[in-house]
A and B are shown apart, each in its own frame.
Chain A
Amino acid sequence: MSDTENSDKRELLLEIQDLRIEGYADDKWVEIVHGVNLELHRGEILGLIGESGAGKSTIGLAAMGYTRDGCRISGGSIDFEGMDLTTANQDELASLRGAKIAYVAQSAAASFNPAHRLIDQHTEAPVQYRIKKRLESQEDAMELYHRLRLPNPKEIGFRYPHQVSGGQLQRAMTAMAMACRPDLIIFDEPTTALDVTTQIEVLAAIRDIVDQFNTAAIYITHDLAVVAQMADKIKVMLRGEEVEEAETIKMLEDPEEDYTKSLWSVRSYKRRQKYRPQGDAVPVVSVQNIDAAYGDVKVLENVSFDIHAGMTVAVVGESGSGKSTAARCITGLLPPTAGRILFNGEALPSSYKARSRDQLRQAQMIYQMADTALNPKVRISEIIGRPAHFYRGLRGAKLKKRVDELLDLIELEPRDFYNRYPTELSGGQKQRIGIARALAANPSFIICDEVTSALDQLVAEGILKLLDRLQKEFNLAYMFITHDLATVRSIADEVVVMKEGRIVEQGPKDEMFTPPHHPYTDLLLSSVPEMDPEWLTTVLEERGVDNIGEAALKKQ
């Protein structure tokens, strides 16, 4: 982010011309990246954004002369400091990787070898290339840990990956990428798997360190607000092709292409907020003072909230805050150890085994991973048809009619989808099938567990609109579990904020999003990246580097 005005004077570091990459599928090679050009100068940060399947990671890896198994570079050139990586042999490439170009992966937890200490993995490349002696490199690692604001920088490296938190691991991985002081680092969605409060400190740490060492970077993400904080210029990708490229500020304020504009506009989707009915209306679901535990570990404490017909209650919180556990209590999968759950004013048996079929029918679930929530060996007609048969006893022509109706409801053409299998559908279509399956039972209440977090923004928006339409049509009550505050803003009526198994704060959305907040809510809200490129700088100035992320969480 430093002196952009000098950028044309900087030396060209990486030049990709007409890069074409093919992937092997169904016994033939199919082109997945169609002639991409890219230029990167020393110290410059390029943001590469697009939805899944846009080819971002493939291009990022190709910049290291690497392709995943089943992919190959079929054309074009990748020129790094005068060396063409498409024609270089494996030894030349190996000596470049780690030393001159380094990689930071999406999931640090999966990308650190579980069998070795962090610092041993850190020193591997420098020792391998004889850039530094082991001890020297260890000292350097501690220095980098310190600069990345990891706690106990002298000691943390001697731990194993599973002993360190996700946000710390991601910073340790950035430190590892820095070990040989490379000229270029590829960041492949480095904060996507993190909670917002953790993401912000990782972002701040990454930005600082690339700035301090004047390292060039390709920053790959699907999150526009994140890339706005990090990049000097942004390239937008769609299905292996470049849509457009421009300086960050220009790209945010005045994108040229329609596709880019549509990406930007997703964030503006908002549905009108509804309020609780006046008087003493009975809520559809009323959770009253429940505690729950996994074995001896207490995970919920004194949780209470109500959900009224036709309303959406968003339950927000970071991973491990007890959101999904609360849902499991409501469905009866995990009987609470104390408290009770009322359904339309009547107490529900705590275990699903003791509930009547009609009680079970009333509450349905839609899951985060539509991929794993649908049986891949069963046709769509049966996936949707089974609950309709099970709960309502439909069969034969009536059942077929009902399935067609449901497919119509979720905007999928019955004739095309009736006989298909889940694997033949896209992510968004699978999630629609998940919704239809929930609707098939004619429920009055649906739990949506992170239903959009595995989807691209445009697709996610479609799902949110669909859920909204269905809610109006059938007066459904939604419990919307999410960690994404942007989604909450667009669809919730009421918000419940959870932290470590307790409810921190709850209320109507408009009140929740206006100060004064509970300190934790405040931390959550202020940690959500905004499209303003100055956002991170401003937050850091306002809160101070020690008042974000884990440090801030500890203080509470």
Chain B
Amino acid sequence: MNDVVKIIFKRLGLGLVTLLVISVIIFSAVEMLPGDIAQAVLGQGATKENVAAMREQLGLDRPAVVRYFEWLGNAVTGDFGHSLVSQKQVSSAISERFANTLFLALYAAVIAVPVAILLGVLTALWRNTPFDRVANVATLTSISSPEFFLGYILILFLSVKTGYFPSLAKINAEMGFFEKLERMFLPALTMVLVVVAHMMRMTRSAIINLLASPYIEMARLKGVPGWRIITHHALPNAWAPIINVIALNLAYLVTGVVLVEVVFVFPGIGQMLVDSVTKRDFPVVQACCLIFAATFILLNLAADVGAILTNPRLRHPK
């Protein structure tokens, strides 16, 4: 087991290095945004003196390298500075939004992952049957449609025409858990439809790839029934690629949901990021980007660890 712990720490270390590199990229990208931040904040009518004073107040007159390390030093302690627009603490402004986004992602994942794996197993078991084809075509259609289109279709059929679910996903802290779930159902469903296909197809093909293995033939020749061959003999050896695709899709659920948030007016972090970019509110932009990057790195790390833990050779060393 020591080996596994060692590998995890090594990956964690690498993840931190990656995050550091990304922080440099984020910082320089924001630096390179066209236009002057002080000018953007003060508006067109500001005098030169005002702009200069603003720059000094924001510390923009100092070299970028100094500002980078200052920002990084504070970020490590959880302090991302103050928003230039609202003057609020960035961390507190973000945390509520980020919690909402995480909640929505979790909601979608709790539905999507089991459904995708189940569909993957079933399509592998009944491969090349009408069920398999229908499932493939349906999920491919849903993945090929843009999220906003899916979202509006769902609103049209499940909200406007039938009134089953609310079309706006505006939630706030006072709402009860189930009320939130109801309000967020349509955006969650939209995201489920977007991610299921990828995970299902990977599950299906990972299992089918293994069906030619000698140990699967051995299981057949032992008279093991078809469903058990898939669930007991193929699936345990297929986890590594499946887990990787799940991690990628979970990361997408957290970081790629701007359009869904816009369609359903959901108070998530994606909308906030877009707003901040247009307003040149660079402390918020940097914080959001860093959080997204950390999410990606952590989920990929989790996938690596998951793949290691499902590998019997690593779990039970000689």
Residues of A bordering B, CB below 8 Å: 61, 64, 66, 68-69, 93-99, 102-103, 105, 107, 110-116, 124-125, 128-129, 159-160, 162-163, 176
Can you spell out 13 A-B residue pairs with CB atoms less than 8 angstroms apart?
A: A93-B223, A105-B217, A111-B218, A113-B218, A114-B237, A115-B236, A124-B222, A124-B224, A128-B223, A128-B225, A162-B312, A163-B316, A176-B222
Are A97 and B222 within 8 A (Cβ)? Answer: yes
A60 vs B218: C-alpha distance when bound (angstroms): 13
Known: A95-B223, A98-B223. A111 touches B217 (CB 8 A): yes
User: When the two chains form the complex, which single residue of B215, B221, B224, B225 contacts A114, counting CB atoms closer than 8 Å?
Assistant: B215
State whether the Cβ of B67 lies closer than 8 Å to any Cβ in chain A: no
Residues of A within 8 Å of B233, CB to CB, are 113, 115
Known: A112-B215, A115-B236. A125 touches B222 (CB 8 A): yes
Are A98 and B221 within 8 A (Cβ)? Answer: yes
A518 vs B318: C-alpha distance when bound (angstroms): 31
Are A98 and B222 within 8 A (Cβ)? Answer: yes
Instruction: Provide the B195-230 mask, 1 if CB < 8 A to any CB of A, else 0.
Output: 000000000000000001111011111111100000
Most chain B CB within a 10 A radius of its CB, from A69, A129, A162:
A162
Residues of B within 8 Å of A124, CB to CB, are 219, 222, 224
A245 vs B232: C-alpha distance when bound (angstroms): 42
Residues of A within 8 Å of B212, CB to CB, are 69
Residues of A within 8 Å of B218, CB to CB, are 103, 105, 111-113
A95 vs B224: C-alpha distance when bound (angstroms): 9
A98 vs B222: C-alpha distance when bound (angstroms): 4
CB distance from A313 to the nearest CB of B (A): 34
State whether the Cβ of B313 lies closer than 8 Å to any Cβ in chain A: yes
CB distance from B236 to the nearest CB of A (A): 4
CB distance from A388 to the nearest CB of B (A): 39
Instruction: Provide the B291-318 mask, 1 if CB < 8 A to any CB of A, else 0.
Output: 0000000000000000000001100101
Residues of A within 8 Å of B318, CB to CB, are 162-163
- CB nearest to A68 among chain B residues: B217
Residues of B within 8 Å of A129, CB to CB, are 223
- CB nearest to A114 among chain B residues: B312
Are B313 and A114 within 8 A (Cβ)? Answer: yes
Are B316 and A111 within 8 A (Cβ)? Answer: no
Residues of A within 8 Å of B223, CB to CB, are 93-99, 125, 128-129
Residues of A within 8 Å of B236, CB to CB, are 113, 115-116
Are B316 and A115 within 8 A (Cβ)? Answer: no
A392 vs B222: C-alpha distance when bound (angstroms): 58
Known: A115-B236, A160-B312. A110 touches B224 (CB 8 A): no
Residues of A within 8 Å of B224, CB to CB, are 94, 98, 124-125, 128
Known: A66-B220, A97-B222, A128-B224. A105 touches B312 (CB 8 A): no
Residues of A within 8 Å of B217, CB to CB, are 68, 105, 111
CB distance from B69 to the nearest CB of A (A): 39
Are A97 and B214 within 8 A (Cβ)? Answer: no
Residues of A within 8 Å of B312, CB to CB, are 114-115, 160, 162
CB distance from B86 to the nearest CB of A (A): 54
Known: A110-B214, A162-B318, A163-B318. A115 touches B221 (CB 8 A): no
A105 vs B313: C-alpha distance when bound (angstroms): 22
Residues of B within 8 Å of A96, CB to CB, are 223
Most chain A CB within a 10 A radius of its CB, from B214, B222, B233, B318:
B222
Residues of B within 8 Å of A98, CB to CB, are 221-224
Most chain A CB within a 10 A radius of its CB, from B217, B221, B236, B318:
B221
Instruction: Provide the B242-266 mask, 1 if CB < 8 A to any CB of A, else 0.
Output: 0000000000000000000000000
A116 vs B215: C-alpha distance when bound (angstroms): 11
Residues of B within 8 Å of A111, CB to CB, are 214-215, 217-218
Residues of B within 8 Å of A128, CB to CB, are 222-225
A99 vs B223: C-alpha distance when bound (angstroms): 8
A115 vs B312: C-alpha distance when bound (angstroms): 6
Are B221 and A110 within 8 A (Cβ)? Answer: no
CB distance from A72 to the nearest CB of B (A): 16
Are A105 and B214 within 8 A (Cβ)? Answer: yes
- CB nearest to B228 among chain A residues: A128
- CB nearest to A90 among chain B residues: B226
CB distance from A502 to the nearest CB of B (A): 23
- CB nearest to B221 among chain A residues: A103
CB distance from B229 to the nearest CB of A (A): 10
A105 vs B220: C-alpha distance when bound (angstroms): 12
* In the complex, chain B residues 269-285 whose Cβ is within 8 Å of any chain A Cβ: none
Are B213 and A110 within 8 A (Cβ)? Answer: yes
